[in-house]
Amino acid sequence: MNDSTPDVAEREETGMMSPGSQRRALETTKTLSKRERGFKRSSMVQLTLVRFREFVREPEAVFWTFIFPILLAAGLGIAFRQRGPDKVQVGVVTAANSAAVIQSLKKDSTLVVESFDDSAAAKALRTGRIALLVVPTARPDSVRYVYDKGRSDAANARVIVDRAVQMGAGRVDPVRSADTFVTEPGSRYIDFLIPGLLGMNLMGSSIWGLGFAIVTARSKKLLKRLMATPMSRAQYLASFLASRLVFLILEIVTLVGFGHWAFGVPLRGSLTTLLLICLLAAVSFGGLGLLSASRARTTEAVSGIMNFIMLPMWIFSGVFFSSANFPHAVQPFIRMLPLTAVNDALRLNMLEGASLAAVMPQLIVIVVWGVVTFFAALKLFRWR
């Protein structure tokens, strides 16, 4: 047995006054090495967890990242939905033969038929409640239509009503026709909108997520405090990207999932390519976020910088309406904006099913922006 053991215990018990035991205390303070602490308590995991916690514990941030885009998509999707061919409202004046006419008209599902007496019929026509008025005559083989021929829906109603009346009376068409109806998701406004909103969201959460958090830490002198530890600066920055990537998946799933489930927005391209576009976009916008945050000392200053960067892209990069609306001369510049590239790539992938090779020009724009902004940011960055 080691006979020095009781000696040490005794010395520690008697206090730390003797020179030997003082040294001992410093050396025997129980510490854990990085390996003993394990993966979960490694600095990369802890820094990333901090990012998560700071985000999740900020209800406003969660709202603006996840709830707001969905509300926006739902609102705009409903406002600009396509209702299909409108029903045609027609009236029939009550008369001896009107029952037969009404029966014929009701066979056509695009017609909504109401019967009126003379004066009510005139009023309904005048106020536009009905597009056309059918006036049966005393003879069963004769009918009169009253309508305003300047109204396109009235002229349309004339065609539909007449066809129904003739067929009801036994007309047989010489040519048998059949209809095949198609609906084409991909051409509606909501289909245009969802990729745009996704692009905007990727930009917003990357730029805000990095810019705001870093400047907040700087203004609270927390950045300086962290610099006084052995923390790796690269890991600190990487933790923002790591947490962004996790939230990125959630953002894609909520927004694209919502559009797909609620409005049938198509996902024609490969999901892997979609994910790759989003990933590159998030990292690239992270560079812009870092650049915005590289010098600013106050959150007010960085908010101004970030809005200055993002506002032009909200307008020019085709989020809510196509960037083709802008004059031809500025199109080359618009195409060089990172958000334009992201939105174009997302639409090509989701709506047109474009392959990875087909979105390569956009991906190059995205990557170049990322590389340039990251290097500029690291060059300018102030850790204090």
Q: Does 382 contact another protein by CB under 8 A?
A: no
> Considering the rule CB under 8 A, would residue 231 count as an interface residue with another protein?
yes
Residues of span 114-143 touching another protein by CB under 8 A: none
Q: What is the DSSP letter of 112?
A: E
146 binds another protein (CB under 8 A): no
- 228 binds another protein per the rule CB under 8 A: yes
Q: Does 221 bind another protein (CB under 8 A)?
A: yes
> How far apart are alpha carbons 56 and 363 in whole angstroms?
30
Among residues 230, 272, 325, 357, which is the contact residue for another protein, using CB under 8 A? 230
149 binds another protein (CB under 8 A): no
| Least distance CB 375 / another protein (angstroms) | 23
Instruction: Give residue 8's Cα distance to chain centre.
Output: 67
19 binds another protein (CB under 8 A): yes
Closest to 259 (Cα-Cα) out of 269, 248, 251: 251
The residue range among 25-33, 172-180, 310-318, 322-330 that interacts with another protein, by the rule CB under 8 A, is 25-33
Size of the site for another protein (CB under 8 A): 39
The piece of 125-133, 177-185, 222-230, 255-263 that touches another protein (CB under 8 A) is 222-230
Closest to another protein by CB, 58 vs 352, is 58
Q: What is the amino acid identity at position 135?
A: V
Q: For another protein, which stretch binds (CB under 8 A), given 28-36, 110-118, 171-179, 358-366?
A: 28-36
Q: Which is nearer to another protein, 81 or 220 (CB)?
A: 220
Q: At what angle do helices 68-79 and 189-219 cross, to 10 degrees?
A: 160
Residue 88 φ/ψ, nearest 5 degrees: -100, 125
Q: Which is nearer to another protein, 32 or 172 (CB)?
A: 32
> Using CB under 8 A, which residues numbered 346 to 375 contact another protein?
none
CB distance 260 to 267 below 8 Å: yes
To 10 degrees, the CA torsion angle through 222, 228, 231, 232? Answer: 100
Rounded least distance, CB 243 to another protein, Å: 13
239: which 2 tokens?
């933790």
Indicate the residue among 54 and 352 with the shorter CB distance to another protein. 54
CB of 49 to another protein, least distance (A): 8
Nearest to 377 by CA among 298, 295, 300, 280: 295
Handedness of CA 158, 160, 163, 166 (dihedral sign): negative
Task: Show the tokens assigned to 17.
Answer: 């006054």
Nearer to another protein, 48 or 362 (CB): 48
The verdict on 276 binding another protein (CB under 8 A) reads no
> For 295-299, which contacts have Cβ atoms below 8 Å and span 24 or more sequence positions?
295/380, 295/381, 295/382, 296/211, 296/215, 296/218, 297/215, 297/218, 297/219, 298/215, 298/219, 299/212, 299/215, 299/216, 299/219
Which stretch in 30-38, 69-77, 131-139, 316-324 sits in contact with another protein by CB under 8 A? Answer: 30-38
d(CA 208, CA 204): 6
Query: Is the dihedral angle over the CA atoms 370, 373, 376, 380 positive or is it negative?
Result: negative
Q: Least distance to another protein from the beta carbon of 37, Å?
A: 7
How is 173-196 classified by DSSP, letter by letter? -SS---------TTSSHHHHHHHH
Q: Does 47 bind another protein (CB under 8 A)?
A: yes
Site for another protein in 53-72 (CB under 8 A): 53-54, 57-58
Q: Hey, which residues between 312 and 341 contact another protein (CB under 8 A)? A: none
CB of 52 to another protein, least distance (A): 10
Nearest CB to another protein, comparing residues 87 and 221: 221
Q: Is 83 in the site for another protein (CB under 8 A)?
A: no
Residue 114 backbone dihedrals phi, psi, to 5 degrees: -130, 150
Q: Which is nearer to another protein, 31 or 272 (CB)?
A: 31
146 near 132, Cβ under 8 Å? yes
First-residue to last-residue Cα distance in the chain = 55
Applying CB under 8 A, which residues contact another protein? 15-17, 19, 22-23, 25-26, 29-34, 37, 41-43, 45-47, 49-50, 53-54, 57-58, 217, 220-222, 224-225, 227-231, 384
